[in-house]
Amino acid sequence: MSLLTKYGPDSRIVAGGHSLIPMMKLRLAQPQALIDINDLTDLARISVEDGTLCVGAMVRHADLLASAVAGEHFPIFHDAEKVVADPVVRNRGTVGGSLCQADPSEDLSAAFAAVRGEAVIEGPGGRRVVPIREFFTGPYQTVVGENELLVQLRVPISSSASAYQKVERRAGDWAVAAAGAELRIEGTQLVSVGIGLTALGAPNFHAPEAEEYLLAGPAVDERFAEAGRIAARHCNPVADQRGPADYKRHLAEVLTVRALRRARTRWHGNNHQEEG
């Protein structure tokens, strides 16, 4: 922390380096000092504390993918990590680096938004906790200050099921579009739901109107379809080499529905109930 204070805005933290080093090569980042946090082994742990899944900022993508405890409670992370880049990137790239890079097509941003995770940020003034849905302030921008460090991601564990669906042009590529969902069902009613979206220009990587629509109604296909349409309307995709905006908006609808249905199937599988 003292190094951050000493070098201030001229410095950059380096975790896995998979985003920062390419940016330096392109002269998009020109830090005067690099602060390597790879020795902070305390930040490389995944644990459950007081009913909360805690993922250290230095946890590598590959470790989150392999984590039994994360996969048990939040299969959405397993789904998402399986399709983040390739093994080379996953072996070095970190969860914290991904979120701090705040790329608008980042997979974990949507996954953490779906499950309403929290970011623990440490700085000279101590620790603060920020809901991940308030963590991003724009493309490549977050609430983490110049002399602060993201230290941990937290997700309260409740009985839920989750899933992540992504369309990519080829294996290992960034998302053309992707959606994640987390839900809880009582009887036939949805009593809790989160929808995360990435590469779609959805503010803060989530779809609040679709969540609101679904809540307290039955978890049936017709309502999922309408939620998909609402989520698509919430998005502001841009045309690029991965496809035209209309195609991406269509994907927003289809992938939202697929993520919801997959999460519902898991819910019923976990709870040995028949589908409503």
Ligand X SMILES: Cc1cc2nc3c(=O)[nH]c(=O)nc-3n(C[C@H](O)[C@H](O)[C@H](O)COP(=O)(O)OP(=O)(O)OC[C@H]3O[C@@H](n4cnc5c(N)ncnc54)[C@H](O)[C@@H]3O)c2cc1C
Query: How many whole angstroms separate alpha carbon 187 and alpha carbon 173?
Result: 39
Query: How many whole angstroms separate alpha carbon 46 and alpha carbon 70?
Result: 8
Q: What residue is closest to ligand X based on CB?
A: 97
Ranges within 87-106 binding ligand X (CB under 6 A): 89, 92-94, 96-98, 100-101, 106
* Phi, psi (degrees; rounded to nearest 5) at 206: -140, 175
Residues in contact with ligand X, shown as a per-residue x/- string from 17 to 56 under the rule CB under 6 A: xxxx------------------------------------
Query: How many whole angstroms separate alpha carbon 120 and alpha carbon 192?
Result: 24
- Region of 41 (left: φ > 0; alpha: ψ -120 to 50; beta: rest) is alpha
Which residue number, 19 or 162, has a Cβ lying nearer to ligand X?
19
Which residue number, 59 or 214, has a Cβ lying nearer to ligand X?
59
* Phi, psi (degrees; rounded to nearest 5) at 114: -60, -40
Which residue number, 13 or 115, has a Cβ lying nearer to ligand X?
13
**Residue pair 5/148 in contact by the 8 Å Cβ criterion:** no
Residue 219 as a binder of ligand X (CB under 6 A): the answer is: no
Which residue number, 38 or 192, has a Cβ lying nearer to ligand X?
38
The residue count for binding ligand X (CB under 6 A) is 28
Residue 118 as a binder of ligand X (CB under 6 A): the answer is: no
Residue 13 as a binder of ligand X (CB under 6 A): the answer is: yes
Query: Can you tell me which residue has the tokens 């996954």?
Result: 111
